[in-house]
Structure 1
Amino acid sequence: MSAPDTNVNKQTRRHRGPIIGIALVLAFAAVLFLGLLGYVWEPAETAGEVPAAAATVSE
């Protein structure tokens, strides 16, 4: 059952703020997720590189 007197223009104005808020929260979550991926992701070591722990030991 739907509302008998739906004013689409009025509903558009009333929902604009919450929709913008949801979009901002989704954008913020995406930035946090990309930051997490950048923090967690480590490139694979190549055969020619010396690990940092082995390079600091002199004897």
Structure 2
Amino acid sequence: MADDLVNRLRALANYQHDDLSIAEEAAEEIERLRARVRLLESYIGCPCNSEQENDAR
């Protein structure tokens, strides 16, 4: 689900032909946050349950 959201935001940014649109900024922030979640998960040793539930849908 998160991948789909990021892809849709990037497509919206490309469609608008803005140098750096709000959609592009949002997509980049989502990717940064997901990277931080993965790093935190590596420290605690378990995957995020909400991400697994979203992937199952």
Normalised by the length of structure 1, the TM-score is 0.44
Normalised by the length of structure 2, the TM-score is 0.45
Query: Which of structures 1 and 2 has the bigger CA Rg?
Result: 1
Which structure has more RCO (C-alpha within 8 Å, separation ≥ 6)?
2
The answer to which structure has the higher helix fraction is 2
